[in-house]
Amino acid sequence: MSLPQPLKSVYALADANSFYASCEKVFRPELEGKPVVVLSNNDGCVIAQSKEAKAALALYMCRPWFEVKEAAEKIGTIAFSSNYELYGAMSNRFVQTLRHFSPRVEVYSIDESFMDMTGLRRDLSVYGHEIKHTVRQWTGLPICIGFGHSKTLAKLANHCAKKQPGWDGVCDLTSLSVPELDHLLASLEISTVWGVGKRLERRLHAVGVTNVLRLKHADPKRIRDKFGVLLERTVRELNGEVWLELDQMVPEANQVMSSRSFGHRLDSLTDLQAAISFHAGNAAERMRKKGLYANAVYVFIQNSPHDEAPYYCGQQMIALPSPTNSTQQITKAALWLLNKVYQPGVYYLKGGVMLMELVAEGGQQRELFGFSQQDSKNHRLMGMIDKVNAKYGRGTVKTAAEGVRQDWQMRRVLKSPGYLHQWKDLLKVR
């Protein structure tokens, strides 16, 4: 009696199209079909474009906004400042929707997730359109889906689904015959493969590997000798071997950082203290969400390397007496470091706080003469502050050192409302 053959792995990659721009359109239906761009910190550069903007403007990413603003406005382009809170909330909705279609989901980035489809006894193309329709209906986001026998092939399938209109946003490479798949791979440039950039593509061209099919048929051992083990794994994945497993667990962070460019250059120590206190509180809150404690605090402030004045970046770290997740203790350490690195006469453009050497609560090494009662009070206080801020918005309860006006904050004059995280910005249906 022959033993049953093991099921061949099948992965899917779901990718939201023009994610930042699409998030802005969800709550503004009148923008459907219009060109939309999203700008970087301080409204400096274009970092996201809708498909209409890409077609009409043909912009390179990170092009300064002031250079293209006039041309963009002539064709009716709508510009938005980055609304990171909105994009994070929409990303969570996207992932939660995908979990209805697969028991194992790996969040790869804010707008991409892998799904395990192994053993699914359904037409994957039909299933893909069902996922696509449901995500659109439940979140408002347009997506593309690719299926393959490895994560690299799923990523490649997603590229085909997005770039080739005939696929209608869903590409199932597992359903293609060998000649059909080879014909498709022969038409694709090597740089379309996950992890292969333009520089590596030029090196591969030099040895006669000019398309994805030739890369697939390359000798893995020779590829490893000349280009390294990572590209060897890519070649094997193109042949349907699974070398990149689905990772459902988010790796434990080694550090948490909060930093932003200032809305304008700062030379006042008082303004810098408010900015650094904000970043200390923000980093501490994010660290507590992960259930971690910091053993060290790092602070930096810098001016712009493009200023006429000499470039200065003040940075310093301090080890804490014992691990802590207390905003007050972290802020005190950060302000002490700021006083050490601050130099008058410098116009600072950016600053931030990094919490380092993070440990879980159970892995802490306490002080020899630690005060457990004080730790318990601090734990309850931080928990209550986080609950209040989660309900009413970050900054509802904060340290006095952060100040009230926060004029140093980065410019976001075109920022859309907080539809999903501010009660006052909830849409009103009349």
The tokens describing 189, both together, are: 């440039």
In this prediction, residues 125-135 reach a mean pLDDT of 96
Over 60: is that where the pLDDT of 249 sits? no
Count of C-beta atoms within a 10 Å radius of residue 296: 16
The reported pLDDT for the residue numbered 188 is 94
Q: What is the pLDDT of residue 409?
A: 67
Compute the average pLDDT of residues 133-154.
Answer: 96
- The answer, yes or no, to whether residue 23 has pLDDT greater than 90, is yes
> Could you tell me if 272 and 205 lie in one domain?
no
Domain contains 413: no
Q: Is residue 424 part of a domain?
A: no
Residues 37, 77: contact at Cβ < 8 Å?
A: yes
User: Is 134 in the same domain as 214?
Assistant: no
The structural domain count of the chain equals: 3
Task: Decide if 414 is inside a domain.
Answer: no
Average pLDDT over residues 183-207: 93
Nearest 5°: the CA angle 171, 176, 179 is 130
pLDDT for residue 392: 74
| CA dist., res. 120 & res. 223, Å (int) | 34
Instruction: Count Cα atoms within 13 angstroms, Cβ side, for 173.
Output: 30
Q: Does residue 244 share a domain with residue 145?
A: no
Is residue 416 in some structural domain? no
Check if the beta carbon of residue 162 is closer than 8 Å to that of residue 188. Answer: no
- Residue after which a domain boundary falls, among 111, 143, 175: 175
Max mean pLDDT range (62-71, 140-149, 192-201): 140-149
pLDDT of residue 56: 81
- Domain of 229, in residue numbers: 178-250
> What pLDDT was estimated at residue 367?
55
Residue 327 lies in a domain: yes
Please determine, for residue 194, whether its predicted confidence score (pLDDT) is greater than 80.
Answer: yes
Sign of CA dihedral 266, 268, 273, 278: negative
Q: How far apart are the first and last CA of the chain?
A: 69
Residues 112 and 217 in one domain: no
Identify the CATH number of the domain in which residue 370 sits: 3.30.1490.100
Question: Does 193 share its domain with 271?
Answer: no
For residues 131 and 6, state if they share a domain.
yes
Portion of the chain with pLDDT greater than 90, in percent: 53
Q: Assign residue 6 the CATH number of its domain.
A: 3.30.70.270
pLDDT in tens, 48-87: 899 888 888 777 677 888 888 888 888 899 999 888 888 9
What confidence category does residue 364 fall into, taking pLDDT thresholds of 50, 70 and 90?
low
Domain for residue 94, yes or no? yes
Q: What is the pLDDT of residues 258-269, one digit of tens each?
A: 988 887 888 889
In the chain, the amino acid numbered 404 is V
179-183, 189-193, 367-371: segment of lowest average pLDDT: 367-371
Residue 229 has pLDDT above 50, yes or no: yes
Mean predicted confidence (pLDDT) in 11-30: 93
Choose between 318 and 360: higher pLDDT. Answer: 318
- Cα 115 to Cα 151: distance, rounded to the nearest angstrom: 9
At 251, is the pLDDT very low, low, confident or very high (cuts 50, 70, 90)? low
**Do residues 2 and 131 share a domain?**
yes
Domain boundary among 143, 175, 207: 175
More confident residue, 334 or 366: 334
Q: What is the pLDDT of residue 371?
A: 44
Mean pLDDT, residues 17-35 taken together: 91
**pLDDT at position 418:** 78
Say yes or no: 302 and 396 in one domain.
yes
Is residue 150 included in any domain, yes or no? yes
- Judgement on whether residues 59 and 168 belong to the same structural domain of the protein: yes
Phi, psi (deg, nearest 5) at residue 241: -80, 145
372-399 per-position pLDDT tens digit: 445 667 778 888 888 888 777 777 788 8
Residues 154 and 50 in one domain: yes
291 pLDDT tier (thresholds 50, 70, 90): confident
Q: Is the pLDDT of residue 287 over 70?
A: yes
Tell me which of 133, 151, 175 is where a domain ends: 175
pLDDT band at residue 253 under the 50/70/90 scheme: low
Q: What is the mean pLDDT of residues 281-304?
A: 91
Cβ-proximal residues to 120 (8 Å cutoff; 6+ apart), any chain = 10, 127
Domain-located, residue 18: yes
Decide which of 13 and 394 is more confident.
Answer: 13
CA dihedral (281, 423, 39, 26) positive or negative: positive
406 against 213, higher pLDDT = 213
User: Which pLDDT score is estimated for 372?
Assistant: 44
- Do 61 and 144 belong to one domain? yes
Residue corresponding to tokens 């507590």 = 288
The domain spanning residue 192 has which CATH number? 1.10.150.20
Q: Name every residue whose Cβ is closer than 8 Å to that of residue 420 and which is 6 or more positions away in sequence.
A: 85, 86, 89, 90
> In the prediction, which pLDDT does 58 show?
74
Grade residue 408 by pLDDT with cuts at 50, 70 and 90: low
Answer yes or no: do 151 and 183 share one domain: no
